[in-house]
Amino acid sequence: MSATRLPVLFVPDLVVLPGMVVPIELDEAARAAIDAARSSGDERVLVAPRLEDGYAAYGVVADIERVGRFSGGTLAAVLRAGQRARIGSGVTGPGAALWVEVETVPDVVPAAAQQLAEEYKRLVVAVLQRREAWQVIDQVHQMTDPAAIADAAGYAPYLSVERKRQLLEEPDVARRLTALVEWTREHLAEVDVTDRIGQEVREGMERTQREYLLRQQLAAIRKELGEGEPEGSEDYRGRVETAQVPDAVREALLREVDKLERSSEQSPEVSWIRTWLDTVLDLPWDVTTEDSTDVTAAREVLDADHHGLEEVKDRIVEQLAVRSRRARRGLQVVGGRGSGAVLLLAGPPGVGKTSLGESVARALGRRFVRVALGGVRDEAEIRGHRRTYVGALPGRIVRAVREAGSMNPVVLLDEVDKVGADYRGDPAAALLEVLDPAQNHTFRDHYLELDLDLSDVLFIATANVVEQIPSALLDRMELITLDGYTEDDKVAIARDFLLPRQLERVAVEAEEFTISDAALHELAANHTREAGVRQMERLLARALRKAATRLATGAERVDVDVADLKELVGRPRFTPESAERTSVPGVATGLAVTGMGGDVLFIEASAHPGSAALTITGQLGDVMKESAHIALSFVRAHAGVLGIDPAFFEQAIHVHVPAGAVPKDGPSAGITMVTALTSLATGRPVRSEVGMTGEVTLNGRVLPIGGLKQKLLAAQRAGLTEVFVPLRNEPDLDDVPAEVLEAVTVHPVGDVLDVVRAALEPAQEVAAAA
């Protein structure tokens, strides 16, 4: 190392490494350093970086190649850097420049430097190739000195001033090259990421520009052809701003529109947002139909569409009367709980529950929509799916409102008792909010995620078996029971409703076909045995098809009476069988209610030698089996009163309920089982014209049952003339049609012994017959 004195030229934001040739703009201090060097005759200066917190420790000894001016007129000097040097203490010298002692620092070149230099050259060439600096690449290839290769990094624009200072202050060439290899690799990785992002941005912009041009061309072509924009492609923001929707809904719509406008056309989220926007905008947020205020006209519409069903007709007329009075007094509900209602029409098939919903809508002047719930097992069918799912849709309730096109339609929820539940949830639980007038003004569908006011919707649910509806859901609905029609009702319905409809379907005029009332009574009594009229309509359709065939082959008209029914619809399917079934002791006629309506139920009992035991068959539920055990216990306990030999109970007793393929359950066959067992034990047959229903206790009390009206209708259809019912069911007789009470004598009883005494044949008559 050698020491010498040189003026110092400090340069800001620049680090000059050995071998570099750089132009330096000369300020006052730099000019003093150049002048001092030239006046000393040495023509050399020490170039060092200017630091904020003091003086640099290292610099380079540079020769002054030339002094002149830049194109702008600024004084400048061109310097050629030589060896790196360590700056010592300040000394005196000529001129106004700062002079220091300078100690040159030779490069330390270990053996590994050459290999590192080649690696660094390869990386530098890769950087230059990206910039297409081919001339510089040739110069790099010509370099062989590891120290010179390392110091050439002073020209690298991707190295910071701090890193270049590290290179200046490091005499070991291998260390300099090691650092440069690491830094250049980092730079190349950053360049790769930047280039990839830039390429994607360019491709996206090109694709967007191409799509824009194509859309503009498509719009121009449509304009030339005189075609408008396809439906749904209009500006969503404009649609939202002009839509008549609540403020909260508008805010949600605008948020989605903002998201849509920020999204790329290729994003899958775009289609989801558009579908959601279309769904929400299609809902009739501000559309309501005006209810008819003419109560008399509404009742006439209901009467014209359905025979009977007075209770439900009265309920609808009451609803309409209340709404009309509130409207006249200006008490309409705005923005909160409306005056909708939730009705449940329960009854056997074929009594007109579903068609009644449409008739109610016509009477009220509302729009009608039907939602079939039979077999629905997914809770999302009611509340909708989350928007994140593929193919997500709103629930059936929202779709029904959209289909109706108004916020106050009549929505018929058909077969609500057939709703199931599995791992996807319980739809009946989801209906709890829908059918609660106290909270359905803020119904929230999973797909919409918006409050939807259902409080003004008139919900009418239908069901066959009320017991299959969860109690919490049943509590939210107003139950109206449709128990079925009497024989006279069926004849009137056939004459006024079914026959005209079937005449139209087979294109037969009323003058060409007649059927007598006696024939209709015969169809209702012996050809069908149902609570509704579906089977009767099928038989009428069958008769009319045969009549149409006769008219087509030359007949002028067809008149049908009782004698003609066998040829037209076949033999009678039902005949009274109670007398035949109860002709032997041990058989009693009970009454039951099924999903198809009321029906008669024969209880058979027999005894045979064997160990004392009770056998029960007929596919009975646990409750009905318990009734059989209770009945036997009562008969055994009261054997003396009933006149039964105690030896009877030492036999094997068998109780059977025919129709073993049909499941049966319930407690209302209790008194029938007591009567059948007593009949068997005493040898006295049960009177053939007698039927009975009621739950029995171990003490012989007769407890009330349900479905009394349906059971009495079934008794009338079966030809029974006397029926024993629980005393506590006597108030229910008010709901039974008068013609049924005229045909059937009803005996309210509170003690099963009264039933046994009155239902069995007198003992003396049995002895005389024997």
**In this model, does residue 337 exceed pLDDT 60?**
no
> What pLDDT is recorded for position 232?
42
Cα gap 723→590, rounded to integer Å: 9
**In this model, does residue 769 exceed pLDDT 60?**
no
What CA–CA distances, in Å, run from 590 to 4, 485, 583, 749, 752?
132, 20, 15, 15, 14
**In this model, does residue 499 exceed pLDDT 50?**
yes
- What Rg value do the Cα atoms of the chain yield, rounded? 51
> What pLDDT is recorded for position 331?
64
Going by their DSSP bridges, the two strands 722-726 and 702-703 should be labelled as unpaired
* Cβ–Cβ < 8 Å for 522, 562: yes
**In this model, does residue 333 exceed pLDDT 60?**
no
> What pLDDT is recorded for position 336?
45
Most confident of 503-507, 691-695, 731-735: 691-695
Going by their DSSP bridges, the two strands 443-444 and 451-452 should be labelled as antiparallel
566 catalytic per annotation: no
- Averaged pLDDT of the chain: 82
> What pLDDT is recorded for position 575?
67
Residue 531, helix vs strand vs coil: coil
Q: Which two tokens stand for residue 580?
A: 């035949």
With cut-offs at 50, 70 and 90, classify the pLDDT of residue 765.
low
pLDDT in tens, 35-44: 888 888 788 8
Cα gap 2→101, rounded to integer Å: 10
Residue carrying the six token digits 């002009």: 242
**In this model, does residue 119 exceed pLDDT 50?**
yes
Question: What's the mean pLDDT in 748-766?
Answer: 82
> What pLDDT is recorded for position 329?
74
Who contacts 754 (Cβ-Cβ below 8 Å, separation ≥6)? none
Residue 243, helix vs strand vs coil: coil
> What pLDDT is recorded for position 472?
85
Query: What phi, psi does 403 have (nearest 5°)?
Result: -65, -35
CA geometry: angle at 289 spanning 287 and 294, to 5°? Answer: 165
Higher pLDDT, 375 or 637: 637
Lowest mean pLDDT among 117-131, 324-338, 506-520: 324-338
Lowest mean pLDDT among 43-47, 321-325, 539-543: 321-325
> What pLDDT is recorded for position 227?
59
Question: What's the mean pLDDT in 581-609?
Answer: 84
pLDDT in tens, 428-484: 777 887 888 777 788 888 888 888 888 888 888 888 888 888 888 888 888 888 777
DSSP string over 298-362:
HHHHHHHH-SS-HHHHHHHHHHHHHHHHHHHTT----SS-----EEEEE--TTSSHHHHHHHHHH
With cut-offs at 50, 70 and 90, classify the pLDDT of residue 701.
very high
> What pLDDT is recorded for position 95?
73
Lowest mean pLDDT among 289-298, 390-399, 410-419: 289-298
Q: Which of 466, 494, 531, 590 shows the shortest CA–CA distance to 737? A: 531
Kindly name the residue from 359, 668, 679, 688 that is annotated as catalytic.
668
**In this model, does residue 770 exceed pLDDT 50?**
no
Cα gap 668→248, rounded to integer Å: 55
Lowest mean pLDDT among 375-379, 546-550, 740-744: 375-379
**In this model, does residue 338 exceed pLDDT 60?**
no
Cα gap 331→339, rounded to integer Å: 11
711 catalytic per annotation: yes
**In this model, does residue 764 exceed pLDDT 60?**
no
**In this model, does residue 318 exceed pLDDT 80?**
yes
> What pLDDT is recorded for position 630?
92
Query: What phi, psi does 389 have (nearest 5°)?
Result: -80, 145
Kindly name the residue from 313, 664, 709, 711 that is annotated as catalytic.
711
With cut-offs at 50, 70 and 90, classify the pLDDT of residue 2.
low
Residue 3, helix vs strand vs coil: strand
Higher pLDDT, 562 or 16: 16
Question: What's the mean pLDDT in 588-597?
Answer: 81
- DSSP 8-state assignment for residue 620: B
Cα gap 568→548, rounded to integer Å: 11
* Cβ–Cβ < 8 Å for 76, 23: yes
Lowest mean pLDDT among 143-152, 409-418, 527-536, 676-685: 527-536
Cα gap 260→525, rounded to integer Å: 67
Cα gap 217→215, rounded to integer Å: 5
Burial of 661: CB neighbours in 10 Å, binned 0-12, 13-18, 19+: exposed
**58: which strand partners?**
86
> What pLDDT is recorded for position 483?
75
How are the residues of the chain apportioned to helix, strand and coil, as percentages rounded to the nearest 5? 50, 20, 35
**In this model, does residue 233 exceed pLDDT 60?**
no
**In this model, does residue 145 exceed pLDDT 80?**
yes
Q: Which two tokens stand for residue 687?
A: 């009177």
Per cent of the chain over pLDDT 70 is: 94
Annotated binding site: 347-354
Handedness of CA 175, 177, 183, 189 (dihedral sign): negative
Annotated binding site for ATP: 347-354
> What pLDDT is recorded for position 569?
80
Burial of 583: CB neighbours in 10 Å, binned 0-12, 13-18, 19+: exposed
Who contacts 611 (Cβ-Cβ below 8 Å, separation ≥6)? 652
pLDDT in tens, 168-200: 888 888 888 888 889 888 888 888 888 888 888
**In this model, does residue 382 exceed pLDDT 50?**
yes
Torsion of CA 461, 465, 469, 472, to 10 degrees: 80
